[in-house]
Structure 1
């Protein structure tokens, strides 16, 4: 009876969550079809100087753009679009319905996992392949460390603005290893598939090593791996308790009641030189100065302390199915661009073997998308001299789904698995290139 009551409590709690945080009732997701330079300038001004929520990037004429418009602002913006003769269509008439559907799916998924854990006599619910809470992710990596403290450790690299630990996991099966790689997720709070991907990678790397999978054994005997599942814990927590579509951290900007800095515009390479906003209410607000945010400072300090030992920096985002390379701050190419593309191709080819429908576009941030300064990728490449630095934008594609950031929970395990397979193939190529370079 107690177990039944617990299940009912979980389901009721989910319903309460949905009803108490229905911030996006009748909010629209609108697709814009700019065809002129005037359209592009107008939209760039909107992105930089308003709180309008652009879900996809402003690239140029004849490239569609998806934008989330609040219900009480919809008529205002539609009038402007008509004034500019800017074609548009409504992709989603009520974003709250998609969010509510997600919550119901998560409740059902949790019930299944809870039942399975009880039947197996497990004390904790398995979170691998699902959209877990920040606390559950912290517990998950702590449990991994407790199970093998010789090789696996949890490191608190510092606390967030609201005081939450930014915990990373180190995996070091070879104590004599001197080379390192870094993987992070969750820098943008609403991109829930990314913490799920980091959790999946932690689980599978350890499992595959212990099962003597040759490719993984080879990689983990060469590198110490540092994985940060949630780089923006305050924002991530806020998406789970208040606003599912929140992107930034939770700094109070003390301006018009606006909160949050885009942490992926706050890094100290070419900060605020393009593709970021100095308007505190903007979704791409880069902060009051480079490295102004404690979350940024924690990452910079930790990686700087090991500068010269890093071979790879990977940051997972969503969405778009893109493998993005430096630079974001300008249209130039890094000196080893072709080698980075070749390694990325190994990863995207491996993903396609797993799922033939997954086609990733590879290239520099600026040339594939747009100018974006202050990003982790540019800082890692220029500031830390990490030769392989990339951002992977996970599924879906813009054309393949209107759900965008709200990837249905049942798709999460497949996306996580594909990303893991691609990452192993990519790292194998990186290791070969790095080894050749270091060995002369």
Structure 2
């Protein structure tokens, strides 16, 4: 195929892309500003029994809450808010328009990447810093392992409800290293920036080690690194093809009318003791029982197979610019909270040194935000005894653009996050080595 023919082929494929169902036409993103406990109780009831899509959690009075309201229901809810003297403002008038803009930008960037790879004679387009498909991510990990099979291996973590393999990568440059760290992304399907951040970390860790970067060489000579770019491949694929704002897995409920489990409420640490739902239709549905989902079981089995060797567990989410420590299940703090806080502050400061506009709030999930039981980091800290177990909510900080972060911003967010992680890990390593020598 000639270069001109190839260009025409790619252009046509972009123009006539098969549209997913455009289900968000006219939906509005609204900021609610509860003033009192009566407003909070009303919104909590709506979260369980209503049809609002809560983009941020209900915290306390005076803390704004971002919700998506269907076009057909906006007048009804607006009337209710006014009757209850609940202040609100529309911050995105048409959610589908924002999603369409994102899709257009992704297609344009894909075209550029495809053309660049073609003209450079490369077999595949580069996916680093992009919102890649799960299949592209899996192929990328396989390519990395094939390029350096002595140090890099694709690891099988488990199988999803729809029979996809959950795959990650292990990076082991020092055969004498016995300690491990874990990083995961994409447990919530619509948080597209997080798989991109994990792929970026895989790429930069390997590249900078091979280029003798002093910090990365020190880290990777001390630890074996395990990174899983997507713990929810089914939900991620569904969000890319059918419903952009889908959050959960794709397990079919008992009635057949509702789908999915919030995998970050399904872990067996204080399961269903608060901040989770027993309703199959809820976005925070915790599943039939603790650890019931195949995706959860895969992660549990994999990490338990190396129990006692883990020094750090990190799970990336979006959005909000939060750096969380345990606990989510209640407002108590972990025994080493001060140490975890100090290391998180180092990571957050490193991010701010790259982007002065990034300010991360640091603290425990329950004290800083809300009760959320059955989460990954509470399980990692309590059950696996991993001393540093954190969740980072990546940018943006506001609902506009919220989950629909423009793809043009992805490389910058990935880069600053990687810089923060390097500083965070270096601080952890220094403490662990000091405690061993002391």
Whether TM exceeds 0.5 here: the answer is yes
Question: Residues 235-274 of structure 1: matches in 2 within 5 Å?
Answer: 235-255=235-255, 257-274=257-274
- Aligned-pair distance for 1:292? 0.9
2:207 aligned partner: 207
1:4 aligned partner: 7
- Aligned-pair distance for 1:158? 1.3
1:40 aligned partner: 40
Provide Cα deviations, 1:144-200, integer angstroms capped at 9, x if missing partner. 000000000001111100000100100000111110000000000000000000000
Question: Residues 8-407 of structure 1: matches in 2 within 5 Å?
Answer: 8-14=11-17, 16-17=18-19, 20-255=20-255, 257-398=257-398, 402-407=400-405
CA contact (8 A) 1:51 1:283 kept: no
Aligned match of 2:429 in 428, 431, 436? 431
Residues 1:412 and 2:415 aligned together: no
Alignment size in residue pairs: 435
Question: Please, which moves more after superposition, 119-128 or 413-422?
Answer: 119-128
Inter-partner Cα distance in structure 1 for 2:261 and 2:184: 18
Provide Cα deviations, 1:253-279, integer angstroms capped at 9, x if missing partner. 133611110000000001110111111
CA contact (8 A) 1:10 1:107 kept: no
Question: Please, which moves more after superposition, 83-92 or 344-353?
Answer: 83-92
- Aligned-pair distance for 1:83? 2.6
CA contact (8 A) 2:11 2:111 kept: no
Compute the TM-score of the two structures, normalised by the length of structure 2.
Answer: 0.97
Provide Cα deviations, 1:195-218, integer angstroms capped at 9, x if missing partner. 000000000000000000000000
Secondary structure of the residue aligned to 2:391 is strand
CA contact (8 A) 1:177 1:221 kept: yes
- Aligned-pair distance for 1:79? 2.5
Secondary structure of the residue aligned to 2:273 is coil
Secondary structure of the residue aligned to 2:257 is coil
Inter-partner Cα distance in structure 2 for 1:370 and 1:108: 39
Inter-partner Cα distance in structure 2 for 1:353 and 1:362: 17
Inter-partner Cα distance in structure 2 for 1:126 and 1:4: 17
Secondary structure of the residue aligned to 2:104 is helix
**Stretches of structure 2 lacking an aligned partner (at least 5 in a row):** none
Compute the TM-score of the two structures, normalised by the length of structure 1.
Answer: 0.97
Provide Cα deviations, 1:15-63, integer angstroms capped at 9, x if missing partner. x32xx42010001111101001011111112112334211011110000
Provide Cα deviations, 1:62-86, integer angstroms capped at 9, x if missing partner. 0000001112222232232223221
Secondary structure of the residue aligned to 1:175 is coil
Inter-partner Cα distance in structure 1 for 2:154 and 2:416: 26
Inter-partner Cα distance in structure 2 for 1:91 and 1:256: 34
